[in-house]
Structure 1
Amino acid sequence: MISFIKTVLVDLQEKNLNLEDLHFILPSKRAGVFLKHHISTLISQPVFTPQILSIEEFVEDLSGLQTLPNTDLLFRLYAIYKSLTPEKEIETFDSFSKWAQILLQDFNEIDRYLIPQEQIFDYLNAIKEINHWSLETNQTQLITNHLKFWKRLKTYYAAFSNNLIQSKQGYQGLTYRKAVENLEFYIAAHKTNKKHIFLGFNALNTAESKIIQDLLKNELAHIYWDIDKTFIDDSIHDAGLFTRQHRNGWNYFKTHAFNWVTTHYTEEKNIQSIGVPKLVGQAKYVGQILEELIQNETNLSKIAVVLGEEQLLLPVLNSIPKDITKLNVTMGLSLQYVPLASFFEQLFLAHKTNPKQFYFKDIISLLSHPSIYPLFKTESTNIASEITTVFQKNNLVYLSVSSLKELAPMHIDIIDLLFSSWNDQPETALKQCLDLIFKMKSNFDKDKQSHSLELEYLYRFNILFNQLTELNSNYKYLNSIAALQTIYKELLSSETLDFKGEPLEGLQIMGMLESRVLDFETVIISSVNEGILPSGKTNNSFIPFDVKIEKNLPTYKEKDAVYTYHFYRLLQRAKNVYIIYNTEVDALKGGEKSRFITQLDIEGIHNIKHQIISPEVPTLNKKLQEINKTPSVIEQIKTLSNKGFSPSSLTNYIRNPIDFYFEKILGIKEFEEVEENIAANTLGSVIHNSLEDFYKPLEGSILTIEHLKTFKSQTKDMVTNHFEKLYNKGGFSSGKNLIIFEIAQRYIINFLNQEIESITKGNKIKILSIEADEAIEIKIEGLDFPIKLKGKVDRVDSFNGITRVIDYKSGKVTQNKVEIVNWEDLNSDYDKYSKSFQVLCYAYMMKQQNRIELPIEAGIISFKNLNNGFLKFGKKDKPGSYAKKDQLITQETLDNFEIELKKLIIEICNPKVNFIEKEIDK
């Protein structure tokens, strides 16, 4: 394969043109590197390098204006806007910047296509006058302001462009218009000493078209097109849309040949269309293709990986086989995809509302970020981890800066940089961001070799924040953190982290636009999906579609045709083509493969191999965990037995032995989340503790209506007190927490009302014990170590002479949950029998200590099911709601329970019975 650039150079030599005297104009800077390389292969002795410019550089030279970055232009435009707009109608910079970006794009289009300014702005104003939505004679203020804006557009444009020209600066469109104005003088000045070579162009705006045509007309240029016969001879093929227009519309080609139409596209090619799920899947498959190519000893310098989406760059770089040591990344990595960007995004988010206290998730996100986390490290621990633990233990939802400093006294300077208030002042924010960068740098400087990439990130962000500082000091338009964040995001998306590599050796990784003029034997193209290649019907413009058509401005059709050309040009001279697309549907971009793939099929020129690739997902046979009872485990069980089994720990074993093992044997506690909303266990604890405080002083006393009325009057204060203790500094004065706070009061009031109603009916209630700690030792045959049971009984009372053992439940419990048919079932089903097991366990312990006289009743009071009152344990003779049941607990009842209890404890302590996981629905 002979590349397009080399073919052009050979033709120039045949024309006897001296390469040193030529001025090459190319679509991109990247092509210039390859042009120099090909020149070196054609010369036999040293020569001066010819002048090589991109079209933008050439136009800038021709215009005499320096093109400003987009952000600088935004500030300059706002200065003009403020000077020409009545003070009452001036928008803030934050609001202005959102629509001014579109306006700048439109100014660019208007100037690049040489549309008469007066004409286009008057035309737009007239259209808006006709189309405005009010038919009223007296227009509203909103409509009036809207129409005023369109009337002023012409004035804004004129003042803005004149201001820039006076300072010899401009936006891209203005440099193009100025270049055309200067063209006549340029041609006169270089009539004999310059020859311009334009190569590889496709879509040209009106200014570029005029410049090239005038240079051709005055014999100061040669132009070389790179188009295939298949595309240019097909009247509807978008890849040849622009070259057909140039060939048919330029006067120059009525008397001169149209160079060059080739026939490479119809040559035999291996083209594969591959569907892969997700971005990372595509990146991994690119690595797999490269691995196969290396094994086939393919020359790496003849391979190009063309990325349809720039965010694929890092995943692809991480997926490249280790054997590839030489590569060149042409495209820059946008700073918004650099890991450090997420840190500053979180920092802006935390400070945007200028809070007096910081939300715990914002604090944890900042302290745990990889860029900051190492700064808190000491020899023994990491303060960031400790602060996170404090949040969990104390249930802190918001925390002040002073409190954070108390938690990290050794790192007050970093806490200050992260959390000291910005007071909605961009100057403060920028200074603290820059200070943070230097703080992070000082940490990475200790081991520069290991943190070279992180230091590069910091360097680029340092430049970015310095740019923002300079813009802010020069213009003073950033008057809030919101405005600063808007411009920060604009800069972040436009600034890139550039890579160093071998420009002519090894694997080439580039974006679609960087591939212009270049040829490769093997091409791998990613993200060939609708909405990406081509980009589709995006319309960021104030100029209506029909006006664009009338004024010959580009619409989405022309933009799609540009990408069609780039896509097909990559295929033109290639021998092996891998077209990869995302098979997963994306809500914003869609998941459909690109029309380009369908078009290749319909053309029928090449046999396209289609395949869908999916990652190998191993079949996981879920095996239930089984833990052997080693001697050390048995020792731990003995220790636990000596401390005492609680009814809840025993029912936890029934539910799932593995959970019992983790919690009681290994001592692994479940991770405690910070409760933003009051959790069910906190609600239950508040109810228990409140009732304990009410009833505890009445032990041994008869309950009276006066007692209960007093409790009712004190309920709010009591509930408040216990919420403050348990929920710490979390608030419960609004939102869901207020609802839960009210629910807690309602549960207690309803319970007290039920007690009042019961006494009113003549029932006599005597409080025997409240929250009584029970502990007993039992002997089990076959076990040579002590076994203890322990637990806390919520309430024991005497109801009309019958002793009742009562357990409170804040959740919903129904009568059937405290009934059994067969004693053997008690240890088998947690959901059905755990409540029965617990209340029987409490009754058993109290009887063993002779604290109660049989027969008794035991059961549950469910605060979510208060209407059903005291839910008594019952032994039924058969299943079903109509079965006969005995609700009195006798010695026989406890003897039967003791048998099952001892069976369970023997199983837990038996070295031959392992802890085996149960399948449960969590």
Structure 2
Amino acid sequence: MSLYMTPFLQQLARIFYQTYKEEVSNFCFVFPNRRSGLFFEKYLIEEAKMTFFSPQITTTTDFFSQLSQSQIEDKMGLLFRLYTIYTTISKQNESFDSFVSFGEILLRDFDDIDKYMVDAKDLFQNVKDIQHINYISDYLTEEQKAIIQRFWTNFNPEPKRQQDFLATWEILHPLYTAFKEDLNTNKLAYEGMMLRELTEKGIEVEYQKVVFIGFNALSLVEKKLFLQLKKQQKADFYWDYEAEFVQDNTNKASIYMAENVTLFPSELQINPQETPEKYVEAIAVPSSVGQAKHVHQILEQLGADTVGTETAVVLSNENILLPMLYSLPDAVGKVNITMGYPLLFTPIKELIDSLLQLQKSATTNGKGATFFYYKMVVSLLSHRYIYTDEKSDEYKQLISKINQNNWIRVSSTALQTDTLLSLIFSPTDTDSLCGYLLAIIRHLLALKKENTEQDTTNTTLLMEQEFLYQCYTSLQRMDDLLHTWKIPLNLDTLSKLIKRILTGIAIPFEGEPLSGLQIMGMLETRCLDFENLIITSFNEGTFPKNETTPSFVPYNLRRGFGLPTTEHQDAIFAYHFYRLFHRASKVYLLYDTRTDMLNSGEKSRYITQLLLGYGIPIVQKTVTYNTSIAQTKAITIEKTHSVLEKLNAYTTDSDTEIPTRALSASSINTYINCPLQFYFSHIEKINPTDSVSESVEANIFGSIFHYVMEQLFAPYVNKMISKEVLQGLAKNKDTIDSLIQRGFAKYYFKQETIFALQGNNYLVSQVIRKYIIQLLHIEETNMPFLHIQHEYKCEGLFFISNIKRFARIKGSIDRVQTKEGKVMLTDYKTGTGKVKYTSIPALFDGNIKQRQKDILQIFLYGWLYQQATKTPADIDGQIIYIRELFKSNNLNQLSPESNYQKVQDEYLVHLEQCLETIFDPSIPFTQTTCLDNCTYCSFKQICR
């Protein structure tokens, strides 16, 4: 038994050359696609073994187009033309972008009507009558509705929907007629229209013979055109119906066979071949990307270094193309891709979306300066086509600058640092939008061309160049049409239109198929045969596709008028598969076992048919992955020599020297909560990644509040504050609002420019104002007092006995005031908290939930104030929780333990013990054992 069958096209090439020799130069061979024609030509040359004039080799579309006086218009041009006629006839002002989906359905229906030579007037009258029945359904009984429901599958008894669309059904035939008249006037056509006109006018060819090869499901116009050429004795026909599966009358793949071979018999006889034994695997893989990885293994088994045109990888789902290319074995040499890949899944679609969003986000200030929303800016700077190796450092710094400065609106001038960014971050309008996109793509194409010239074998670069080129040609075509038809569009509508048009584009990869591993879609396999066949996404619903093509013609009318239905599509798909399967020796069918909204996880019906219906042995495999979770190890940082060097920057041998670094209440609290967090933050200085904050977070809120309070009391340093002063400050709302705006500029926008506060920021500013006024009113009960200073900065050296060194500690006290000889230290807190604490030791215990770290801080301020003033003053601490201001007319004070002197000795003992553990060389930095301390930690991902 033969191990490999001779390909169908090779058989034909051999028999034609043996029969006609060089006379075939006068023939025209017509194929379903270009790829099959190329293979046929290759086989013909191999048979001839000499130089001769090649026959004409073409596709059906190209063949009949040459016979027509009309030019085939592209879909985009048809849509613009149809829209203009539709608005004239319907007298509606529907926007073009909302018309596109409607127009695409109409174009498909018009094309089907002409390809199957349907009487359009009769068909659309029936469509209209059905809609009228739906419209008057309120007058039908429930039984009558049910009867009609069973007969008309799209029957809808809801009158609202019918009223909305009734006018549409009325104009379908006038629209069809006017559209075709307009196309005729301009010598344009769509494919079905062109073929119907050729059928009605008749055709003549100059070729000695026209040979149609490898067709199956013919439209009525194709049958009539074939019959015309057959009647002229100019045509010959060859069908690939050798497979037993296709000859089986119970198999959908055979539906068109009997009629085709009867109407269009072959002049030459092709001898049937002996069917080889097959090796078939059905492989269950729980991932689409996993399928690509498994194809790698299959190719290795087949001999990755030797696979060529005899091996095909057929992708049922185009989305898997890029993962497939990245997963191919290095030993695979040349790879040929012939398939349509949706632009929707390419990086260029994401880039265009970001550019459109960028322009929609643009705002202009009073001076004419343009600002862009930061998210769009960062998205573009991070895009793979923009963020190249050469520019990575520069663009990374630009992104970091945006994040660090919290620029929600980024000035265009700050972004235009090179030619590409100057193109991207320039404002545009509706009229210039396509030109703006085209200029950017032109620049990117030039950059890609330079890269591909340096690396001509890089498949990814070549594909990306093709992505850009296809996008460019589509946008250029759209720009031309917009200027031709002058359809009024605003920026938002045009953006939607561009995205909609690009979503429908498939990039036609058509390489040289005569060498290398073949990667293709199912339609591209027509007429071709492969020894090794690998099909991915072999799932029910994907292979065959379980989708209904949208149409304005109901299912039963389509059947009644001979238009293609879902059964037609199923039969075509079955034929393609079984024909391809027939001559393969090794077949690998991979399917995704995952179950989600888009995938049932069910293998294709064809596996069951092969196994049970035809008794084909199938080896069934399941690919599994190890999903065990690695155990998390505890992290311990020993105080090595290098760690101690960094740690010693906080200490000094002498009380006359100042260490370069200083501890604070915050850093001490961090150590108590988690020594490891302290190590990351204060020893290694690892900062959490900066990001722009669109909302006013608690720390920003607190900074603005502190700033306003400091500025309000700035004129009263070392002055007595009376009730009248506080009342005057509270009444001066304009001053408070102005200071709040300046606070926003400084701490939120981080720019000198003062912006008018809007939206959520305005609401926050009003909250801050209310809190400040309320605090000023409450302060009236504490009058009079001497205001010493706001934001009082102080520091001191604390001697640590066990290491015999001084640690530098610093702090910034929110407010210092005196009254009746007692010093009051005030600390503002934006959150909430309790002013009571159980004991001093509890303040230094990191395992206590909701430890009162605020009280630890206010007592530390007491020690710092004494160090700064060198006086043993009587000191009280006061914590003002801003959110509590409206709950009481009395300030929340630490009482009765608020007096620092009462707890000073015990507090300092525990403070020294804490500092001793920080600086003790033998005590490592370890993770906290209290998981509550991890909740808001910036480093918790490291510990997991």
Which TM-score applies when normalising by structure 2? 0.82
- Alpha carbons of 1:414 and 1:226: their partners in 2 closer, same or farther (altered >3 Å)? closer
Compute the displacement of 1:37 (Å).
2.3
Q: Which moved more, 1:788-797 or 1:299-308?
A: 788-797
Check the 8 A contact 1:854/1:889 in 2, yes or no.
no
Check the 8 A contact 2:211/2:235 in 1, yes or no.
yes
Measured in 2, the distance between the counterparts of 1:840 and 1:599 equals 82
Check the 8 A contact 2:306/2:332 in 1, yes or no.
no
Check the 8 A contact 1:422/1:429 in 2, yes or no.
yes
SS in 2 for 1:201: coil
SS in 2 for 1:861: strand
- Alpha carbons of 1:510 and 1:908: their partners in 2 closer, same or farther (altered >3 Å)? same
- Alpha carbons of 1:740 and 1:557: their partners in 2 closer, same or farther (altered >3 Å)? farther
Query: Which residue number in structure 1 is paired with residue 925 of structure 2?
Result: 915
Check the 8 A contact 2:236/2:267 in 1, yes or no.
no
Q: Where does structure 1 lack aligned partners over 5 or more consecutive residues?
A: 875-885
Q: Give the aligned residue type for 2:433.
A: A
Check the 8 A contact 1:624/1:917 in 2, yes or no.
yes
Measured in 2, the distance between the counterparts of 1:347 and 1:632 equals 48
Measured in 1, the distance between the counterparts of 2:84 and 2:100 equals 12
SS in 2 for 1:331: strand
The equivalent position to 1:114 in structure 2, one of 112, 117, 136, is: 117
Check the 8 A contact 2:308/2:516 in 1, yes or no.
yes
Compute the displacement of 1:841 (Å).
1.9
Measured in 1, the distance between the counterparts of 2:68 and 2:243 equals 36
Compute the displacement of 1:787 (Å).
1.4
SS in 2 for 1:779: strand
Query: Which residue number in structure 2 is paired with residue 418 of structure 1?
Result: 424
Q: Counterparts of 1:458-607 in structure 2 under 5 Å?
A: 458-477=468-487, 479-482=489-492, 484-485=494-495, 488-489=498-499, 492-493=502-503, 502-588=512-598, 592-603=602-613, 605-607=615-617
Q: Percent identity?
A: 30
1:163 correspondence with 2:182: yes
Measured in 2, the distance between the counterparts of 1:44 and 1:644 equals 88
SS in 2 for 1:301: coil
Query: Which residue number in structure 2 is paired with residue 748 of structure 1?
Result: 772
Compute the displacement of 1:773 (Å).
2.1
Query: Which residue number in structure 1 is paired with residue 335 of structure 2?
Result: 327
Which TM-score applies when normalising by structure 1? 0.84
Query: Which residue number in structure 2 is paired with residue 96 of structure 1?
Result: 99
1:839 correspondence with 2:849: no
Measured in 1, the distance between the counterparts of 2:229 and 2:449 equals 54
Q: Give the aligned residue type for 1:48.
A: F
Query: Which residue number in structure 1 is paired with residue 403 of structure 2?
Result: 392
Check the 8 A contact 2:862/2:900 in 1, yes or no.
no
Query: Which residue number in structure 2 is paired with residue 814 of structure 1?
Result: 834
Query: Which residue number in structure 2 is paired with residue 656 of structure 1?
Result: 674
Query: Which residue number in structure 2 is paired with residue 737 of structure 1?
Result: 761
What do the CA deviations read for 1:686-732 (whole angstroms, capped 9, x no partner)?
Answer: 22333344456667777655444334334652544433432236867
What do the CA deviations read for 1:117-174 (whole angstroms, capped 9, x no partner)?
Answer: 22222222333333237979xxx99978844443333233223223333444311111
Query: Which residue number in structure 2 is paired with residue 667 of structure 1?
Result: 685
Measured in 2, the distance between the counterparts of 1:686 and 1:712 equals 17
The equivalent position to 1:275 in structure 2, one of 284, 288, 308, is: 284
Compute the displacement of 1:337 (Å).
4.2
Measured in 2, the distance between the counterparts of 1:56 and 1:12 equals 23
- Alpha carbons of 1:32 and 1:587: their partners in 2 closer, same or farther (altered >3 Å)? same
Compute the displacement of 1:495 (Å).
5.5
Measured in 1, the distance between the counterparts of 2:26 and 2:846 equals 96
Query: Which residue number in structure 2 is paired with residue 881 of structure 1?
Result: none
Check the 8 A contact 2:353/2:499 in 1, yes or no.
no
Measured in 1, the distance between the counterparts of 2:746 and 2:136 equals 60
Q: Counterparts of 1:241-320 in structure 2 under 5 Å?
A: 241-243=255-257, 246=260, 268-294=277-303, 299-320=307-328
Measured in 1, the distance between the counterparts of 2:315 and 2:799 equals 74
- Alpha carbons of 1:909 and 1:604: their partners in 2 closer, same or farther (altered >3 Å)? farther
Query: Which residue number in structure 1 is paired with residue 83 of structure 2?
Result: 78
Query: Which residue number in structure 1 is paired with residue 251 of structure 2?
Result: 237
Q: Where does structure 2 lack aligned partners over 5 or more consecutive residues?
A: 140-158, 365-370, 652-658, 937-944
1:363 correspondence with 2:382: no
Check the 8 A contact 1:227/1:260 in 2, yes or no.
no
Compute the displacement of 1:318 (Å).
1.9
Compute the displacement of 1:115 (Å).
0.5
The equivalent position to 1:345 in structure 2, one of 342, 350, 353, is: 353
Q: CA RMSD for the aligned pairs?
A: 4.0
Compute the displacement of 1:485 (Å).
4.0
Check the 8 A contact 2:17/2:48 in 1, yes or no.
no
Query: Which residue number in structure 2 is paired with residue 645 of structure 1?
Result: 663
What do the CA deviations read for 1:533-581 (whole angstroms, capped 9, x no partner)?
Answer: 2222333222122211211211223223322322233322222222223
Compute the displacement of 1:39 (Å).
2.3
Query: Which residue number in structure 1 is paired with residue 143 of structure 2?
Result: none
What do the CA deviations read for 1:10-67 (whole angstroms, capped 9, x no partner)?
Answer: 5657877964454333221111111122223433554433332222223323444332
- Alpha carbons of 1:460 and 1:211: their partners in 2 closer, same or farther (altered >3 Å)? closer
Measured in 1, the distance between the counterparts of 2:217 and 2:248 equals 17
- Alpha carbons of 1:65 and 1:824: their partners in 2 closer, same or farther (altered >3 Å)? closer
Q: Give the aligned residue type for 1:290.
A: L
1:723 correspondence with 2:744: yes
The equivalent position to 2:169 in structure 1, one of 150, 169, 182, is: 150
What do the CA deviations read for 1:626-676 (whole angstroms, capped 9, x no partner)?
Answer: 444343432332223324210101112223333323332333333332221
Check the 8 A contact 2:674/2:846 in 1, yes or no.
no
Q: Give the aligned residue type for 1:270.
A: Y
- Alpha carbons of 1:353 and 1:553: their partners in 2 closer, same or farther (altered >3 Å)? farther
Q: Which moved more, 1:203-212 or 1:28-37?
A: 203-212
Measured in 2, the distance between the counterparts of 1:701 and 1:594 equals 87
Measured in 1, the distance between the counterparts of 2:913 and 2:677 equals 19
1:38 correspondence with 2:62: no
- Alpha carbons of 1:154 and 1:828: their partners in 2 closer, same or farther (altered >3 Å)? closer
- Alpha carbons of 1:231 and 1:814: their partners in 2 closer, same or farther (altered >3 Å)? farther
Query: Which residue number in structure 2 is paired with residue 204 of structure 1?
Result: 218
- Alpha carbons of 1:693 and 1:606: their partners in 2 closer, same or farther (altered >3 Å)? same
Check the 8 A contact 2:844/2:914 in 1, yes or no.
no
The equivalent position to 1:435 in structure 2, one of 421, 432, 439, is: 439
Query: Which residue number in structure 2 is paired with residue 877 of structure 1?
Result: none
- Alpha carbons of 1:414 and 1:594: their partners in 2 closer, same or farther (altered >3 Å)? same
- Alpha carbons of 1:888 and 1:166: their partners in 2 closer, same or farther (altered >3 Å)? closer
SS in 1 for 2:883: coil
- Alpha carbons of 1:244 and 1:887: their partners in 2 closer, same or farther (altered >3 Å)? farther
Query: Which residue number in structure 2 is paired with residue 882 of structure 1?
Result: none
Q: Give the aligned residue type for 2:698.
A: A
Q: Which moved more, 1:150-159 or 1:168-177?
A: 150-159
Measured in 2, the distance between the counterparts of 1:832 and 1:787 equals 24
Compute the displacement of 1:89 (Å).
2.8
Compute the displacement of 1:846 (Å).
3.3
Measured in 2, the distance between the counterparts of 1:45 and 1:404 equals 65
SS in 1 for 2:339: coil
Measured in 1, the distance between the counterparts of 2:258 and 2:246 equals 6
Measured in 2, the distance between the counterparts of 1:663 and 1:825 equals 19
Check the 8 A contact 1:67/1:169 in 2, yes or no.
yes
Measured in 2, the distance between the counterparts of 1:231 and 1:692 equals 88
Q: Which moved more, 1:554-563 or 1:126-135?
A: 126-135
Measured in 1, the distance between the counterparts of 2:271 and 2:119 equals 35
